[in-house]
């Protein structure tokens, strides 16, 4: 089960630079874990913004929400969740380029 | 160079069913070609809508626009184009799950 | 897995009254089947609108989308899908009032 | 008389963690009372947000408003109230799955 | 139980003038009945628009919705319903100017 | 000359409780004077919000604006002003239920 | 009593050219009358649009609405009405440049 | 060359009263100079708001922008600029009521 | 005097292909004339849309509006006009890359 | 590869004047470098706003994003990026007025 997320991050303008750096490091570490757990599949930065599009995979809606709330930057995020299914051309794209998630 | 597109399709309500079917067949055929040319990389249908998120790849902005205008349903589409770059976690995700586009 | 849907219905103003009546009858028949299949759990009309809030249950996102597209009025609907999970008070409400879906 | 509420909660970013925890505990306690009084019937968390959809029942509009203002988090909430009535398929859903509120 | 409604009316631009006149006459007749039944209490035209603010009174949400759907222009209306309760100054205003609805 | 106002009040979240109480008392006192002067005719609280719909009457636009600026909460209000005139059904409603303003 | 109006005009795209020309001529004739009656005081076209800002003067809100509905293009207009009063600098501007309306 | 401006002013809620008064005095003084220079031609307060519509005249776009940035309240303003030209009825209005700017 | 325009073009979906082609040819011819007259300085197509950003130059607002209304596609355009002035870095950019308009 | 950017700048209202001046000086210095590197091609100030339209050129999306994040004011900017391609009339405009970027 996959979802497209659009996430905007708004850090408080008066947050100290080293607090920001520490927060980013923790975010990166937690994101890496979620990638290794096959929860976060793809992520792209939006040009000119502190924002991203990302594809998430979860067996349940609860698992998706729980994963998001473990992100250290969650309190600073505005998240839009769009449920995704295969498009008739998805299978064609997978045969050509591989599937977004890796099947084991 | 990759782009996230959100495409809404609005066929005229009074279009005949077989005209719709023919249009869909042509759209699918052209979409397949664009997939094979590595222009259209991924596509997901948005649940409950005649709409999709899709990841496109093009060497130039002109190539992207030209590809879109060859879609038989282009006159019925509202397209939002968001330029994408790698997020700091993109490389992590690629190592875990493979890159969205297939390198040759 | 449950979802809140907000559905607005816009029938063409020039649709003949008996065509509308026939469409409504088919919508009701199909809706009844989806209720019996435990896909459509709850539905409320929004006062003053041809619109509803409804709670849907599906084992997969594909099953939800497929169910929606079988609705005879689907071509006339604007559907917003919000994925739902339990709130910390959901369990309290269930103990008091029963769960929205019926467990078998 | 039932209402669909969409509630967004925005706690001040600089509220201390234990103040937040205490507020949440009081919110949960008051929510539980409202559930036991058959005022708050159903509540679902919206995935990825500090927000919920909830179904409220009240004999009067005054009773609904008064119940909302007793919520400890009320000063931090943005609440949208939509009055609900039965849809023609509500009765079908009730026969299949039971009614949202419990009749005594 | 009272509600503020904002109603925009959009008649099809190609509706014949006498069809419009007949529709308006039927709307006026039905509106008069709803006034006499104490359902429609107050109505004001919005300057420069085919739109109105109106105060409605109904013992139930169903009664309000049913009243609205009996309006001949209902298919051409966009209706926003806002549930109302007394403000702390409502009683002061009533003592000075009488209550909006007439008590019998 | 009458106007429908929709007023949202946003007190600063860090205003002390007794400062809020004092402000509310002054607002109530001034509102009472405006009611007695036949400037504020009707006021309803919007369910679930710190907001109201209210009907104001003034001989001139200047008198309306001046009355609003004397409200102690004016600096915290967002006010939308809609000029109102009689609707063809206003006279019908007045015959049935009395006119909103009291004629002397 | 003065008002700022922003009026957008949307003629049906399939209206015949001579019907448009006749409508424009009637609009101009009626507008001229309203100017001579000191109801329409000022009018400016918005660059690049079929739209205008205009200052209207009327002794009552009813007179303003009635004047607008006599415009031949009224059925094709979307009108936003903003009530105006003097700004503290209005008197300064009048002393320098004359008042917008002509006093007799 | 004339422009319609809609200006919203948002002073910080915690600005001291005498700082506000001093700012208003400086704004008034500068506004008076701009009126005398025939840059600011007309200004109206919007009822119920700290906002105005105003007509500005400048030989160049640079002159307009420079004039605006000399306003002491400029840092607290949100300004929408709409370029204006004569409407076909402008000449009619001028013959009846005089032109907005005074020709020397 | 320069302006940034964002122009969306919406041709009627049922316009015949050769009528569209003829309209485009006339639009191109007129656009070419406006370029040669130094009125239309720059134009870019927006990727994925029938829309453009364009820089226009005109000695007066009237000249700009008149130029726009001579475009054969004007009746099908939604035009947003933004007045432009030099930014402090404009002169730097001009020294490096030449000025947008050609001085004679 | 070119892009139209619309950039709004919102400096904190309580930033000290000399901090603002220093920030502006650094912004100007960095902007000058980006101009000399042919990344920032054109920039116009929007009349009445602390905002600009600007044309950027970059060989890749990454280069564009990296350039933007080097701007000292980037944390205070809201940036909208629109990918641009040649319009059929672009070549005509270039022959008449030169191309926006300077070819070497």
Task: Look at residue H57 and tell me whether its pLDDT is greater than 80.
Answer: yes
Model pLDDT, residue H56: 97
Band the pLDDT of J91: cuts 50, 70, 90.
confident
Task: Look at residue C98 and tell me whether its pLDDT is greater than 80.
Answer: no
> Mind listing the pLDDT tens digit for each residue in H20-29?
999 999 999 9
DSSP E strand boundaries for chain J: 2-9, 40-46, 51-57, 77-86
Task: Look at residue C6 and tell me whether its pLDDT is greater than 70.
Answer: yes
Decide if E84 touches D, using CB distance below 8 A. Answer: yes
**Most confident region among C82-91, E56-65, E86-95 by mean pLDDT:** E56-65
Report the alpha-carbon distance of residue G30 to residue G45 in Å, rounded: 17
Model pLDDT, residue J99: 63
Contact (CB<8Å) I48/B65: yes
> Mind listing the pLDDT tens digit for each residue in A22-71?
999 999 999 999 999 999 999 999 999 999 999 999 999 999 999 999 99
> What is the average per-residue pLDDT within C22-39?
96
Model pLDDT, residue F93: 84
- The rounded Cα G99 to chain-centroid distance in angstroms is 17
Model pLDDT, residue B96: 84
- Chains in contact with E, counting 3 or more C-beta pairs less than 8 Å apart as contact: C, D, F, G
> What is the average per-residue pLDDT within B61-70?
97
Which pTM value belongs to this model? Answer: 0.90
Model pLDDT, residue G28: 95
Decide if F80 touches H, using CB distance below 8 A. Answer: yes
Q: Contacts by F23-26 with C-beta closer than 8 Å and gap 24+? A: F23/F72, F23/F73, F26/F72
Model pLDDT, residue B98: 72
The overall average pLDDT reported for chain E is 91
- The radius of gyration computed from the CA coordinates of chain E, to the nearest angstrom, equals 15
- What are residue C40's DSSP bridge partners? C56
Contact (CB<8Å) C81/B45: no
Model pLDDT, residue G70: 97
Report the alpha-carbon distance of residue C41 to residue D98 in Å, rounded: 9
Q: Do chains G and I touch (3 or more CB pairs under 8 A)?
A: yes
B71 in a structural domain = yes
> What is the average per-residue pLDDT within J11-30?
92
G29 in a structural domain = yes
I54 in a structural domain = yes
H81: tokens are 């600029």
Band the pLDDT of B100: cuts 50, 70, 90.
low
Are the C-beta atoms of residues D77 and D27 closer than 8 Å to each other?
A: no
| Across D51-55, E11-15, F22-26, I5-9, least confident range | E11-15
> Mind listing the pLDDT tens digit for each residue in B6-17?
999 999 878 999
> What is the average per-residue pLDDT within I64-73?
97
> What is the average per-residue pLDDT within C35-47?
96
Cα–Cα distance list, B76 to B7, G1, I19, J71 (Å): 10, 48, 18, 39
> Mind listing the pLDDT tens digit for each residue in H63-97?
999 999 999 999 999 999 999 998 888 888 888 87
- The radius of gyration computed from the CA coordinates of chain C, to the nearest angstrom, equals 15
Task: Look at residue E32 and tell me whether its pLDDT is greater than 50.
Answer: yes
The overall average pLDDT reported for chain H is 91
CATH number at residue J39: 3.30.70.1060
Per-position DSSP letters for F21-58, written without gaps between them = HHHHHHHHHHHHHHHHTTSEEEEEEETTSSEEEEEEE-
C11 in a structural domain = no
If one counts the domains in chain I, the total is 1
A54 in a structural domain = yes
Q: Which residues of I27-65 are buried (b: 16+ CB within 10 A; e: fewer)?
A: beebbbebbeebbbbbbbbbbbbbbbbbbbbbeebebbb
Task: Look at residue E100 and tell me whether its pLDDT is greater than 90.
Answer: no
Task: Look at residue I71 and tell me whether its pLDDT is greater than 50.
Answer: yes
Band the pLDDT of D37: cuts 50, 70, 90.
very high
Model pLDDT, residue A100: 60
Task: Look at residue G104 and tell me whether its pLDDT is greater than 80.
Answer: no
A9 in a structural domain = no
Smallest CA–CA distance, residue C1 to chain E, in Å, is 30
Model pLDDT, residue A31: 95
Of D43, D90, D96, the CB nearest to C36: D96
Task: Look at residue E104 and tell me whether its pLDDT is greater than 60.
Answer: no
Domain span at E44: 16-78
Contact (CB<8Å) B85/J61: yes
| Across A94-98, C63-67, F74-78, least confident range | A94-98
Report the first-to-last Cα separation within chain B, whole angstroms. Answer: 16
> What is the average per-residue pLDDT within E75-91?
92
> What is the average per-residue pLDDT within G61-79?
96
Smallest CA–CA distance, residue J86 to chain I, in Å, is 5
Model pLDDT, residue F20: 95
H86 in a structural domain = no
Model pLDDT, residue H98: 72
G8 in a structural domain = no
Decide if G12 touches E, using CB distance below 8 A. Answer: yes
> Mind listing the pLDDT tens digit for each residue in I13-66?
789 999 999 999 999 999 999 999 999 999 999 999 999 999 999 999 999 999
> What is the average per-residue pLDDT within C41-48?
96
Model pLDDT, residue D94: 80
> What is the average per-residue pLDDT within A77-97?
89
- Residue in chain G closest to H29 (alpha carbons) equals G89
Task: Look at residue I5 and tell me whether its pLDDT is greater than 70.
Answer: yes
């Amino acid at each position: 089960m996959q979802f497209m997320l659009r996430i905007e991050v708004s850090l408080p303008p008066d947050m100290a630079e080293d607090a920001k750096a520490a927060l980013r490091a923790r975010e990166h570490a937690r994101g890496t874990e979620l990638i290794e757990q096959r929860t976060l599949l793809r992520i792209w930065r939006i040009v000119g913004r502190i924002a991203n599009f990302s594809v998430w995979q979860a067996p349940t809606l609860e698992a998706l929400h729980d994963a998001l709330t473990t992100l250290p930057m969650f309190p600073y995020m505005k998240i839009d969740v769009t449920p995704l299914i295969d498009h008739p051309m998805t299978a064609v794209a997978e045969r050509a380029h591989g599937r977004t998630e890796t099947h084991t």
